[in-house]
């Protein structure tokens, strides 16, 4: 089963959980750009982390919602998901 | 008739923009057209999950497409009452040709009134809480259902960094928000985005209202809300409201925009819950205070927009309060309650009445009180058809179910100083 968080899934979560629409390819290309620049605030990121935990049945470290960029978040989340695989 | 501003050197507040979202129409033009025709939009409650509730009739807003009016992130992060507020504020700002870029970001503030908060959003998240657990509640719940949500989102969305506030003042809060805005303007702010919208028709919000003994559970829309009649059986709830741009008179003139009305006076009192007889004295005191602030005599009131709760004791108290303050003029002045065609959207109801009062003065027309015939109680309630009249001064009254009584006096826009 493919469990790794992709930029496409993150883009989809940003839209569904926070109403922030971003092209997955742009998110990947600009993966070091702060979430704030995409229009995602801290509540939005908190909701995305919560949704990932619920969808994957995983516990993601509490500091994940302090990630500033898409790349940082993917690294933190995928470390958890890979460790479980 | 002469203009008698009580403090001529004071910074006066005028209305330069309006946006309306009502069961009878979206936009001030559509709302006014329906209102002057006496159209009633009361109808069955059609919202999902409400079918088995004892409340059968409400004033729902149909044809409101939030996706066409507010951006995606506000759709996801905020409640329907804030969608209404943002869309109505946009209309008002367009009407007033005002934005933060032109006015200066600290020159514009925001104040709204709210009594219900974000019920639909809250319903969804509380279902998650009880159905699946706390981890399934989204974080935007923390801001979407709270009374101040609309003020905050309008401020963020428009870039308005002037004084911001929310009046949690029960139904009369729609009038009190104007007093708050006028105070900010007296204090130096050039313009305020002000008003109230509500969306209290989610199942959970309706259940909260079922405890009000004043709520009408009559099932026929034409019979459900008949204030000032022998068949009065309570009030019908509604959603919607209105937002405005209130502006310092000189600042508006210098921008070259027309004053649609002048905020001339306001007063508010509190007489406690479940005592409608006591609201007579409270409302009378508020009317007196608002007229005093406006520097107007009772006989100068040309039209009254009544609170018109539809509860016999409350209607009687309102008629007596008018007689107490206006004397013999109370029996002659046209009184109207257009809200019998929309229902009462809590704080949004009094905000809608302000919009209606402005439109009535502009058009020289007192709109009728839909569905109501056979008036009892000594008031000249306008029913059936609209009435032509030269209207320079409008008195708007509102009471909250928990004891607030407020009066707001508006003057015709031509009363703005040249």
Q: Give the model confidence (pLDDT) of A8-46 as tens digits.
A: 999 999 999 999 999 999 999 999 999 999 999 999 999
Rounded to 10°, the helix B28-36/B347-363 angle is 80
Domain boundary among B192, B224, B255: B255
Contacts of B359 (CB under 8 A, 6+ apart): B28, B31, B32, B35
CATH number at residue B190: 3.40.47.10
More confident residue, B20 or A56: B20
Residues B96 and B26 in one domain: yes
Structure tokens belonging to residue A6:
């992709």
Residues B237 and B310 in one domain: no
Count of structural domains, chain B: 2
Give the minimum alpha-carbon distance from B133 to chain A in angstroms, rounded to a whole number: 10
Residues B182 and B146 in one domain: yes
Residues B83 and B157 in one domain: yes
The whole-number pLDDT of residue B192 equals: 98
| Residue B4 reports pLDDT greater than 90 | no
Residues B391 and B294 in one domain: yes
Domain contains B83: yes
Average pLDDT over residues B16-30: 98
| Residue B1 reports pLDDT greater than 50 | no
Domain contains B416: no
The whole-number pLDDT of residue B312 equals: 97
Residues B215 and B351 in one domain: no
Residues B170 and B313 in one domain: no
* Chain B residues within 8 A of A46 when measuring between CB atoms: 139
Average pLDDT over residues B177-196: 97
* Residue B266, CA atoms < 13 Å, CB-side half-sphere: 21
Q: What is the pTM of this model?
A: 0.95
The whole-number pLDDT of residue B8 equals: 52
- φ/ψ of A49, rounded to 5, equals -65, -40
Q: Give the model confidence (pLDDT) of B121-135 as tens digits.
A: 999 999 999 999 999
| Residue B314 reports pLDDT greater than 90 | yes
What is the pLDDT confidence band of residue B35, given thresholds at 50, 70 and 90?
A: very high
How many percent of chain B have pLDDT more than 70?
98
| Residue B7 reports pLDDT greater than 70 | no
| Residue A75 reports pLDDT greater than 50 | yes
Q: Give the model confidence (pLDDT) of B214-240 as tens digits.
A: 999 999 999 999 999 999 999 999 999
Residue B11: closest CA among B268, B254, B298, B355: B254
Residues B127 and B193 in one domain: yes
The whole-number pLDDT of residue A83 equals: 87
* Chain A residues within 8 A of B71 when measuring between CB atoms: 19
* Chain B residues within 8 A of A44 when measuring between CB atoms: 77, 139-140
Residues B141 and B109 in one domain: yes
Residue A54: closest CA among B315, B307, B134, B388: B134
How many percent of chain B have pLDDT more than 90?
93
The closest CB to that of A19, out of B76, B135, B139, belongs to: B76
Domain boundary among B255, B286, B313: B255
Average pLDDT over residues B188-211: 96
| Residue B3 reports pLDDT greater than 60 | no
Query: Any chain B CB within 8 A of the CB of A19?
Result: yes
Residues B116 and B251 in one domain: yes
Q: Which residue of A12, A17, A19 to mutate against B (max B Cβ within 10 Å)?
A: A19
The whole-number pLDDT of residue A38 equals: 96
Mean pLDDT of chain B: 95
Residues B60 and B200 in one domain: yes
What is the pLDDT confidence band of residue B103, given thresholds at 50, 70 and 90?
A: confident
Domain contains B347: yes
The whole-number pLDDT of residue B2 equals: 40
Residues B365 and B277 in one domain: yes
Contacts of B130 (CB under 8 A, 6+ apart): none
The whole-number pLDDT of residue B418 equals: 64
Domain boundary among B207, B238, B255: B255
- Top-level CATH class of A7-84? mainly alpha
Contacts of A47 (CB under 8 A, 6+ apart): A17, A18, B138, B139, B140
Domain contains B5: no
The closest CB to that of A53, out of B75, B135, B143, belongs to: B135
Query: Any chain B CB within 8 A of the CB of A36?
Result: no
Domain that holds residue B163: 13-255
Q: Which residue of A14, A36, A39, A50 to mutate against B (max B Cβ within 10 Å)?
A: A50
């Amino acid at each position: 089963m493919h469990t790794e968080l992709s930029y496409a899934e993150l883009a989809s979560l940003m839209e569904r959980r926070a109403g922030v629409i971003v092209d997955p390819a742009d998110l990947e290309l600009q993966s070091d750009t702060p979430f704030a620049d995409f229009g995602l605030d801290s509540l939005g990121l908190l909701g995305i982390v919560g949704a990932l935990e619920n969808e994957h049945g995983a516990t993601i470290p509490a500091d994940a919602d302090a990630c500033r960029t898409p790349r940082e978040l993917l690294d933190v989340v995928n470390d958890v998901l890979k460790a479980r695989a | 008739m002469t203009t008698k501003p009580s403090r001529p050197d004071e910074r006066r507040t005028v209305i330069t923009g309006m946006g309306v979202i009502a069961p009878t129409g979206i936009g001030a033009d559509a709302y006014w057209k329906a209102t002057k025709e006496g159209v009633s939009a009361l109808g069955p409650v059609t919202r999902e999950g409400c079918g088995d509730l004892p409340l059968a009739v409400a004033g729902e807003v149909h044809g409101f497409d939030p996706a066409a009016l507010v951006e995606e992130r506000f759709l996801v992060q905020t409640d329907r009452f804030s969608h209404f507020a943002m869309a109505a504020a946009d209309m008002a700002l367009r009407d007033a040709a005002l934005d933060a870029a032109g006015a200066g970001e600290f020159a514009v503030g925001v104040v709204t009134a709210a009594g219900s908060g974000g019920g639909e959003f809250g319903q969804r998240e509380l279902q998650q809480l009880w159905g699946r657990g706390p981890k399934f509640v989204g974080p935007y719940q923390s801001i979407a259902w709270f009374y101040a949500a609309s003020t905050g989102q309008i401020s963020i969305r428009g870039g308005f960094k002037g004084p911001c506030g929310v009046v949690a003042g029960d139904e009369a809060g729609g009038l009190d928000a104007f007093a708050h805005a006028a105070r900010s303007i007296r204090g130096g702010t050039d313009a305020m985005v002000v008003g109230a919208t509500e969306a209290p028709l989610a199942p959970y919000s309706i259940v909260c209202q079922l405890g009000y003994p004043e709520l009408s559970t009559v099932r026929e829309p034409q019979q459900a809300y008949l204030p000032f009649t022998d068949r009065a059986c309570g009030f019908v709830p509604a959603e919607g409201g209105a937002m405005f741009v209130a502006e310092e008179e000189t600042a508006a003139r210098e921008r070259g925009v027309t004053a649609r009305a002048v905020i001339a006076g306001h007063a508010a009192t509190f007489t406690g819950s479940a005592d409608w007889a006591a609201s007579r004295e409270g409302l009378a005191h508020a009317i007196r205070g608002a007229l005093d602030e406006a520097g107007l005599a009772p006989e100068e009131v040309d039209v009254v927009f009544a609170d018109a709760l539809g509860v016999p004791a409350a209607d009687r108290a309102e008629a007596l309060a008018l007689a107490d303050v206006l004397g013999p003029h109370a029996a002659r002045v046209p009184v109207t309650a257009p809200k019998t065609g929309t229902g009462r959207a809590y704080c949004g109801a009094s905000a809608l009445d302000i919009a209606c009062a402005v439109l009535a003065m502009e058009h020289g027309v007192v709109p009728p009180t839909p569905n109501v015939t056979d008036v009892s109680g000594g008031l000249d309630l306008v029913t059936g058809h609209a009435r032509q009249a030269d209207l320079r001064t409008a008195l708007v009254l509102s009471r909250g179910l928990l004891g607030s009584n407020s009066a707001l006096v508006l003057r015709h826009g031509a009363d703005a100083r040249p």
